[in-house]
Structure 1
Amino acid sequence: MPYIDQKARPEMDSLMDPLIDHIKSLPLEQQDAVLDYVLTRMLMSLYHPPFFNFNRALGVLTAVTQEYYRVVIAPYEDEKIRDPGPVRAKPED
């Protein structure tokens, strides 16, 4: 979980919101590439040699992936699994 003090979030949000709005305004087929560019540029600006810092960057990316799955995807899957039901190793007779 991104443990940022609640009081610090409005400043970050005010900086990110225009960029998010801009990316959302782009054609769908461009949004992923632009987001990739933005994230890569941020990482390249913040994490420099030695390898210890590259490893920190990979840790952040891993944590982001897990947080997105936990907060966004897992609840969606929990809701959607009700429709077709869970996957089973062998269909019930």
Structure 2
Amino acid sequence: MPYIKKEDRERIDELVEQLANMIRGIGHVNYAITKFLHTIIQGDEVDYALLNAMIGVLECAKLELYRMVVAKYEDKKRMKNGPVSDLDAKSLEDVR
């Protein structure tokens, strides 16, 4: 869950902002995430629990991005352009 205390965010936000300003494409995003995880893994004793936890963090971050950003974007596009079929037409009425 990314919703950590505000006082814990300040230094992290500064560093993330600096990194984001250096990113030049989606390949660089992938590299930065991969390098970050590798750095954490190298600092700990590698075992299945740690690797499994890393996969869990990535999965939860993906799901949270979809839930909070992508789904809202898709709802706006569906309202603007119309539903694909009757299967999503009813749910379109629910978001209006």
TM-score range, shorter chain: 0.7 to 0.9
Task: Note closer, same or farther for the CA distance 1:78–1:89 as it changes in structure 2 (3 Å cut).
Answer: closer
Structure 1 or 2: larger helix share? 2
Quick one: distance in 1 between partners of 2:77 and 2:26? 25
Task: Structure 1 unaligned segments of length 5 or more: list them.
Answer: none
Give 1:10's aligned residue. 10
After superposition, residues 13-92 of structure 1 pair within 5 angstroms as 13-23=13-23, 26=24, 31-47=25-41, 49-88=46-85
Instruction: State the number of aligned residues.
Output: 84
Runs of 4+ aligned residues of structure 1 deviating over 3 Å after TM superposition are none
RMSD: 1.7
Relative contact order higher in (CA < 8 Å, ≥ 6 apart): 2
1:33 Cα offset (Å): 1.4
TM-score (norm 2): 0.77
Shift of 1:71: 1.1
CA distance in 1: counterparts of 2:11 and 2:64, whole angstroms: 21
TM-score relative to the length of structure 1: 0.80
% identical aligned pairs = 33
In 1, Cα distance between equivalents of 2:49 and 2:8: 27
Per-residue deviation, residues 25-49 of structure 1 (Å, max 9, x unmatched): x3xxxx1111111111111111352
Give the deviation of 1:89 after TM superposition: 5.8
